[in-house]
């Protein structure tokens, strides 16, 4: 594994290949030929198939197993590691590899029981260079994989078919590219999806197929929006509508209307959501197309929910329930994301917690990587706002390490990463926030611009740069006011007020911010605590009297919010108040690099409490406590709770003045 990581790229390192082939080279000639037969079969090689490929060599199977290269499995054998299989497969002479794959294709086409494995047929046809067989089986394998929710496999099979598609008609090529694009969209491979959709669009245009061209323009519009190119996406979707409205109204036009409603929602254009959403809904009802109707209603419900309209959230939940019961996976995944994101932006964490984990699992189980990533990013924001900053960082880094696009999920993750670093006083605060700003600016969307503007304003204020904080907060403030977004307008107004750049804000902004700006710090703190946002509650207390500032200081220390704690300490000392000077419970100031929350959890572990009891004591979910305990064991390099308790006392963490 060290060699693989050091080599980088996708090729097998020479050292690994040499080690595998050296072990394989100790086999007898029949044993080597049997190993070669196993090597052309990805994963598990069934005994009946090996008997077809290498009947004379089968008596030497025990020799291969004894060599350590293969391991037995009920009804078959497999290589101990895929790298070993690839090393042997790549060592085969071209003619030998082709003959083995041809034999495997013939055997799998007529299995001893059951239906032929379409994916295996496509694989061996590809390896044998049989273009006609690939074109016969790869699309069928892709359709089957998509039905089973294996969308990455479906995309791979469509891509396989397209490698052999030169002999196909333009129409068939276009359909394959369109299908590939959709599967890549579902898995979050937006660059590949855009490339495939562009190829499909070009072919439909050459065919003068206006209906398909309009449908493709709408799909490409959705992909461009996904990576933040919203103005282009809007223009393209309007082109689609204009083209499709010149034809008989149908499914494709209703989908384009629904897409324009979604784009309007992303830009905060409530009127546009209603206009286009209602057009989509009316046409969907005429067509009897419940799927499009659900899509339109999701956008309408989300807009009403964000505007505080009674019943908006319930509409969203109703469409989610319908999509789940009807098996409309994409609509359900969209509804989960829209519902969680809308709730999170309003600090409605009761709703977030109701749907976040279940939505994430739903998307994970169905290989809907695009939507799983979105919920993963919202999980990071949820943890940020609840004060679980180590877990928030882990969640954000997971999104960033797996995302292959510049879409919404990595953007949100970058803002979380920057805010955690700023709040802790960690280095390299601005790199993720600069990258997030680069991703947000082309979109022109409030939901992106305001989120990063607020994060950057806070980072500036915590760094003691009030002028920069003021500039950052003002960057998206007018847009937030224009769109009348209660929470974004409130947050951006608050940071301007903190920097003495705003005397008053509109009365309609979100309550906690309105209370803080009005000087009602205690009510603001209570409101933030009710939302489940301890850091924001401490910020409100820090604006109060000496006793409130002392409470804020202790809360900042508990959270590991070093810059904010220092600011409050300076304020207290300025009026002659005493400030505890004990060690800060930050990750840098204990030998185990534990966070403040992890020390709290560890102390209760040392007291003999179980995870459920710890959760009750600290008002945390069982799942969150599980994460903390796992992190503690890892950081302390111990395996048991008893060992962790011993380390707690040995390191003197029980004697820290927390």
Per-residue pLDDT at 616 exceeds 90:
no
Closest CA to 471 of 458, 481, 457, 459: 457
For the domain with range 596-655, which CATH number is right: 3.40.50.620, 3.40.50.1820, 1.25.40.20, 1.10.10.10? Answer: 1.10.10.10
Per-residue pLDDT band at 591 (split at 50, 70, 90): low
Structure tokens at 125: 């046809």
Per-residue pLDDT at 646 exceeds 80:
no
Kindly list the distances between the CA atom of residue 535 and the CA atoms of 397, 423, 623, in Å, as whole numbers in the listed order: 21, 9, 21
In tens, the pLDDT along 95-112 reads 999 999 999 999 999 999
Q: In this predicted structure, which of 6-10, 246-250, 514-518, 604-608 has the lowest mean pLDDT?
A: 6-10
Predicted local distance difference test score (pLDDT) of residue 211: 97
For a pLDDT cut of 90, what percent of the chain falls above it?
75
Report which of residues 51 and 307 the model is more confident about: 51
Predicted local distance difference test score (pLDDT) of residue 140: 97
Structure tokens at 486: 């209660």
Radius of gyration of the chain measured on its C-alpha atoms: 29
Per-residue pLDDT at 3 exceeds 90:
no
CA gap 295, 421 in Å, rounded: 38
Per-residue pLDDT band at 622 (split at 50, 70, 90): confident
Residues 188 and 373 sit within 8 Å (Cβ to Cβ): yes
Calculate mean pLDDT across residues 147-172.
96
Kindly list the distances between the CA atom of residue 325 and the CA atoms of 291, 378, 507, 528, 568, in Å, as whole numbers in the listed order: 12, 25, 42, 36, 52
CATH topology for 2-116?
Arc Repressor Mutant, subunit A (1.10.10)
In tens, the pLDDT along 464-514 reads 999 999 999 999 999 999 999 999 999 999 999 999 999 889 999 999 999
Predicted local distance difference test score (pLDDT) of residue 647: 78
Calculate mean pLDDT across residues 377-389.
96
Q: Which residue has the tokens 């990063």?
A: 452
CATH number attached to the domain at 131-369: 1.25.40.10
In tens, the pLDDT along 576-589 reads 887 765 444 444 45
Per-residue pLDDT at 528 exceeds 70:
yes
Per-residue pLDDT at 243 exceeds 90:
yes
Residues 304 and 346 sit within 8 Å (Cβ to Cβ): no
Q: What length does the chain have?
A: 658
Q: In this predicted structure, which of 198-202, 284-288, 504-508, 586-590 has the lowest mean pLDDT?
A: 586-590
Predicted local distance difference test score (pLDDT) of residue 583: 46
Predicted local distance difference test score (pLDDT) of residue 533: 96
Q: Identify the helix (H) or strand (E) that includes residue 657.
A: none
Per-residue pLDDT band at 607 (split at 50, 70, 90): confident
Per-residue pLDDT band at 458 (split at 50, 70, 90): very high
In tens, the pLDDT along 8-46 reads 555 677 777 888 888 888 999 999 999 999 999 999 999
Phi and psi torsions of 148, nearest 5°: -90, 0
For residue 577, give the 3-state DSSP assignment: coil
Calculate mean pLDDT across residues 275-298.
93
Q: In this predicted structure, which of 23-27, 551-555, 562-566, 585-589 has the lowest mean pLDDT?
A: 585-589
Predicted local distance difference test score (pLDDT) of residue 633: 87
Domain 131-369 shares a fold with domain 596-655: no
Q: Locate all alpha helices (DSSP H) within 228-269, ordered by sequence.
A: 230-245, 251-266
Q: In this predicted structure, which of 335-349, 443-457, 554-568, 571-585 has the lowest mean pLDDT?
A: 571-585
Per-residue pLDDT at 159 exceeds 90:
yes
CA gap 221, 244 in Å, rounded: 14
Per-residue pLDDT band at 427 (split at 50, 70, 90): confident
Residue 71, strand partner residues:
78
Per-residue pLDDT at 137 exceeds 80:
yes
Calculate mean pLDDT across residues 630-653.
79
Predicted local distance difference test score (pLDDT) of residue 225: 94
Report which of residues 366 and 577 the model is more confident about: 366
The angle subtended at Cα 592 by Cα 591 and Cα 596, nearest 5°, is 100
Contacts of 322 (CB under 8 A, 6+ apart): 290, 294, 328
The mean pLDDT of the chain is 91
Closest CA to 232 of 202, 200, 194: 194
Count of alpha carbons within 13 angstroms of residue 292, beta-carbon side: 26
- What are the sequence ranges of the domains in the chain? 2-116, 131-369, 596-655
């Amino acid at each position: 594994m060290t060699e693989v990581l050091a080599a980088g790229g996708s090729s097998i390192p020479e050292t690994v290949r040499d080690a595998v082939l050296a072990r394989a080279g100790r086999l007898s000639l029949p044993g080597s030929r049997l190993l070669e037969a196993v090597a052309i079969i990805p994963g598990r090689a069934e005994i009946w198939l090996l008997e077809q490929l290498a009947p004379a060599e089968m008596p030497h199977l025990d020799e291969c197993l004894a060599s350590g290269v293969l391991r037995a499995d009920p009804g078959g054998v497999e290589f101990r590691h895929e790298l070993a299989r690839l090393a042997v497969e790549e060592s085969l002479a071209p003619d030998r590899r082709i003959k083995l794959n041809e034999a495997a294709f013939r055997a799998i086409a007529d299995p001893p029981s059951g239906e032929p494995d379409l994916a295996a047929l496509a694989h061996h046809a590809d390896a044998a260079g049989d273009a006609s067989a690939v074109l016969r089986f790869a699309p069928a394998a892709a359709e089957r994989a998509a039905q089973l929710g294996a969308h990455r496999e479906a995309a791979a099979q469509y891509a396989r078919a397209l490698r052999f598609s030169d002999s196909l008609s333009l129409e068939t090529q276009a359909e394959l590219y369109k299908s590939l694009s959709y599967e890549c969209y579902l898995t979050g491979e937006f660059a590949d999806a855009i490339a495939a959709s562009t190829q499909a669009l070009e072919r439909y245009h050459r065919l003068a197929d206006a209906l398909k061209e309009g449908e493709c323009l709408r799909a490409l519009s959705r992909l461009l929006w996904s990576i933040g190119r919203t103005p282009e996406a809007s223009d393209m979707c309007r082109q689609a509508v204009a083209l499709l409205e010149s034809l008989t109204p149908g499914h494709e036009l209703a989908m384009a209307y629904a897409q324009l409603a979604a784009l309007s929602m992303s830009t905060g254009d409530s009127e546009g959501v209603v206009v286009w959403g209602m057009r989509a809904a009316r046409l969907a009802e005429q067509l009897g197309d419940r799927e499009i109707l659900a899509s339109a209603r999701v956008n309408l419900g989300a807009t009403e929910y964000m505007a505080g309209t009674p019943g908006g959230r319930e509409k969203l939940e109703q469409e989610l329930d319908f999509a789940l019961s009807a098996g409309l996976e994409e609509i359900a995944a969209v509804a989960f994301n829209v519902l969680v994101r809308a709730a999170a932006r309003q600090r409605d964490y009761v709703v977030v917690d109701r749907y976040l984990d279940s939505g994430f699992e739903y998307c994970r189980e169905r290989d809907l990587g695009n939507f799983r990533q979105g919920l993963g990013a919202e999980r990071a924001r949820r943890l940020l706002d609840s004060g679980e900053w180590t877990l928030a960082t882990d969640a954000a880094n997971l999104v960033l390490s797996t995302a292959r696009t510049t879409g919404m999920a990595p953007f949100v993750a970058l803002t979380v990463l920057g805010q955690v670093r700023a709040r802790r006083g960690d280095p390299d605060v601005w790199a993720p926030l600069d990258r997030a700003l680069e991703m947000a600016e082309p979109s022109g969307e409030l939901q992106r611009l305001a989120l990063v503007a607020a994060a950057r304003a806070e980072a500036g204020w915590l760094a003691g740069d009030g002028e920069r904080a003021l500039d950052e907060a003002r960057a998206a403030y007018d847009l937030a006011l224009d769109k009348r977004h209660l929470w974004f307008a409130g947050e951006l107004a608050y940071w301007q007020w903190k920097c003495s750049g705003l005397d008053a804000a509109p009365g309609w902004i979100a309550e906690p911010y309105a209370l803080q700006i009005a000087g009602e710090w205690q009510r603001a703190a209570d409101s933030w605590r009710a939302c489940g946002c301890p850091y924001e509650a401490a910020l409100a207390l820090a604006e109060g009297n000496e006793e409130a500032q002392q409470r804020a200081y202790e809360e900042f220390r508990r959270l590991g919010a070093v810059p904010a704690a220092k600011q409050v300490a300076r304020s207290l000392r300025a009026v002659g108040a005493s400030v505890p000077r004990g060690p800060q419970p930050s990750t840098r100031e204990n030998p185990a690099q534990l966070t403040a929350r992890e020390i709290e959890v560890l102390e209760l572990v040392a007291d003999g409490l179980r995870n459920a009891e710890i959760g009750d004591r600290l008002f945390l979910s069982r799942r969150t406590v599980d994460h903390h305990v796992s992190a503690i064991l890892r950081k302390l390099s111990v395996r048991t709770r008893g060992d962790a308790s011993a380390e707690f006392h040995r390191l003197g963490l029980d004697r820290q003045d927390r």
